[in-house]
Structure formats: C-alpha cells, structure tokens
Structure 1
Amino acid sequence: MKSSELRGVSTPKLRVLRPVLEAWIEAVHRYRKLQGHDDAPWWFNERASLSTLAGAVWTLPNWATLEEYATTKKGVMPEDKVDEGGPSPERNGRCDLLILGKSTNFAVEAKQAWQSIGSRSSGVANIHKAMRMAWHDAGDLHLDEGEHRLAATFVVPYVPKKDVVGSHPHEVVQRWLKSKPFNIDRRSPAALAYLFPKDVENLGAKDEDKGGYFPGVVLVIEHRQRGNRFTSKRKAGDGS
C-alpha cells in the first residue's frame, strides 16, 4: 500500500512556534527510523507524545524546555464560599511543559485523544473532549506562569479497514482534515502540525481484531491567554 507522506504545519496565530513544530515532525521521524519504521510514538500515551515535543525543542538553538515541573495552580472555590467572594485558593500541581524561546515563552497543558475517523464516527467527539480538558487545565495556570498559556492536544486518528477498501488511509485522513475537526466552541487552532508517513502498512492496529490503521498524529495548539510575564518588555507570539 504505497502513498506519499502527508505532513503540514500551520501557524496562523503563533508563527513564532513554526520552527518548534517543524522540529517536532522531524523528531517523530527520527524515532520511527531508529525503531525500523515498525513503531510509532503516537501508539502510546500523552506523556510519551509530550516527550517528542520536548525533545524537538532541545534540538533548536536558542530554545529550551522543562517537562512536568512543580508549580501552583488556581484552586476551586468551595460551593458554600462562592458568595463570599475573594480569590480562590491555590493548590500544588505540575505544568506539563514550559517552552522557552529567545524572545518569548509558553506554559503548556496537554492531552491526547484517540479518534476514529471512519464512516460511522463523528470524527470529533473524543478530540473535542480532550481539547476542552486541555483548555480548562491551561486556564488553571496563573497568568504569570508564562508569557503565553497554551492548550495542546495530540490527536491520533484511527481508520477502519472497511473504510479504505479500494482506496488508501490517507484519502480518509485528507477528507477528515478538510472538515476542520479542530474548530471548537467558536475557536480555531492558533497552530497545528501533522504527520502521516507513507508506510502505512506498518501502522496497522496492534489488535488484529480491530482491523484498521493509526496512520499518523496531529498536534493541535490553542492560545488560552497571554500572560503577564515580560509583556511590558517585549511583544512576541501572536502573528510575530
């Protein structure tokens, strides 16, 4: 089953992240090459996917990153205290990723979604659930956590074999991408990147009873809110 590779990077609202996303695609390629192309980092969990993004950042000059670092987050006001007003309590927690650039930085909360994009699926239900969770978690970060707060969702589509009879998984993927599955709650992604390698014969479901493909991965990034840190000194990020 031969086809050309599908890859793309779009940064309509966060152009400063383009080199990071391009490096992420190359990092995923590097992992697969070292594994003989019969393994993929998106077959695992959110933490594994996040490591590919962090690893990509470290390959770039003037960029650095920290994963799973301890911080405080906004707490939840108890229901019986809401009418009393005042700030909600803080709680200890971890931020998934801090990306540091020469002129800006990003605090990132991430999720991973497994989504069937077959003919009997909405193609978005699991994606939107994960995106809303990432958006919520990014909102729990303090405004001074980073210059920008991002919600990142790694999306792993599943293509049933019955939907590729006489065609190719990439055809299903292309139709799905054109349907704009990452537009949610009147928001569109600030940036995204995707990779669907050409060797899909090595990307079948590990459970043969399922009979399908996990042909690639999409990284969707939403800009939750600009923070307070450094904003008076420099402007970077949106459209820069």
Structure 2
Amino acid sequence: MQGMTISNPKLEFLRPVLERWFDCIDRYNAVRGDNDTPYWFDERANLGLLSAAAWMAEMVTLQNAPTRKQNEDGERNVSADLFIASTEERAFIQATQRWPKVNNLNLTQPLSEVASDAKRISYASDLKLGCLFVSPQKAQQSATPEELQDMIDDLQKENTCAVAWYFPYAYRKLRNEAGQYHPGIAVLFKQAHG
C-alpha cells in the first residue's frame, strides 16, 4: 500500500520526490535483504532517503543547510535539517520522527511542534516545512490489512499540506530485534508560517 495526498499547491513540486522516495526504500530493502529496513531508524536516516529521492528527481538538496533568519536584533545564522530545490522552487525543512502504536497514531501534537520549529529556520518569505516521519509499530504480530487502511485514513485526516505513506507488502511481517513490527512509514509535511 502506497500513496500520497498533496493539498497545498506550493508543495506540488515535491510530488516527483515522494514518488522516488518509495523507490529509495525499495532499493535499500533490496540491497540490505529481509532483515533490515530504513524506517526503523531516526529522522536523519529517513531524511537521507528523502534527499536521495530529490536528487533522483533532478533536484538538489543539502542537509544541515546554513540559512539566515531575521529577528528583532538583526540577522542570525541558523540551519535547516534539509534544503531542497528545483530550478523554480525551494523549501527549508525541519524534521522529526515518531514511532506510535499502529492503532493510536496521535500525530497532531508532534506535527504542530515540528511546524513550529520550522518557523525558526529562515526568512518569513521562504517556504518552510515541518516534516514528521512516522513509523508505526505493533507488538506480537503484524498489522492487519484493516489496521493499515485505518492508519492511512487517519493520516489523511491530519491537518497537513502533504502526506505520503508506504507499507510494502513484503516487509509487513518484518520485526526488529525488540520484537516490534513496523509495517512501513509515512511522511507528513506542514507549512510553517512566519
């Protein structure tokens, strides 16, 4: 199961990136075999995949990108977790990750927090995005198709500018060393204003 919804036209330029993000996850899984998957790790690992997907989509990225921010005392140097740009568009991204329970995603608060963090990474005129990677988990057994569909429905109900999800069939029954099943990953974007 994979898909995406982009509700904010300003983020439409990310569509080819998100399409290739699915391919990057598949390639990682193919190379590493059936005992490892990238979404078990943290936002740095997943930002790396998103960055690779952007390059595949003929865009450029820079992680920990230096930026300038205007404040009351003048300008100061800050950095964005990821800078992503095409020839016409660009965005500064601040990212985090959560590992919620499959049947209790509870993403409103972390999504608001990362969007709030993104406000601080560049000028008000720049497109700044909070980015929340979500790798749901379930103990003892893998998620059922019904649970996966419920998660996708919940993801699409969140107040986002864009959301993409990937629950690869071959990896739904894969569990990590702690015995947790992680059926896949979603990424949610929320625009930071100000």
TM-score (norm 2): 0.87
1:98 — aligned with what?
A: 83
Cα distance change, pair 91–142 in 1 and its aligned pair in 2 (3 A): same
User: Does 1:221 find its partner at 2:189?
Assistant: yes
TM-score (norm 1): 0.71
- The Cα RMSD (Å) is 2.3
* Aligned-residue offset at 1:202: 5.0
In structure 2, which of residues 43, 47, 51 is the aligned counterpart of residue 46 of structure 1? 43
User: Does 1:178 find its partner at 2:139?
Assistant: no
Select the structure of larger CA radius of gyration: 1
Comparing 168-177 and 216-225, the one that deviates more: 168-177
Q: Structure 1: 5+ residue runs without aligned partners?
A: 1-5, 76-86, 228-240
With a CA cutoff of 8 Å and minimum separation of 6, indicate the structure with the bigger relative contact order.
1
Matched length = 192
Q: Does the 8 Å CA contact 1:204/1:214 hold for their aligned counterparts?
A: yes
2:119 — aligned with what?
A: 139
1:123 — aligned with what?
A: 105
Cα distance change, pair 156–182 in 1 and its aligned pair in 2 (3 A): farther
| Residues 46-85 of structure 1: pairs in structure 2 closer than 5 A | 46-61=43-58, 63-73=59-69
1:109 — aligned with what?
A: 94
Q: Structure 2: 5+ residue runs without aligned partners?
A: none
* SS of alignment partner, residue 117 of structure 1: coil
* SS of alignment partner, residue 116 of structure 1: coil
Q: How many angstroms apart in 2 are the aligned matches of 1:215 and 1:64?
A: 30
1:29 — aligned with what?
A: 26
Per-residue CA distance 1:197-233 (angstroms, 9 max, x = gap): 112365213213xxx41110001011223x8xxxxxx
Comparing 90-99 and 188-197, the one that deviates more: 90-99
* Aligned-residue offset at 1:180: 4.2
Q: How many angstroms apart in 1 are the aligned matches of 2:173 and 2:69?
A: 42
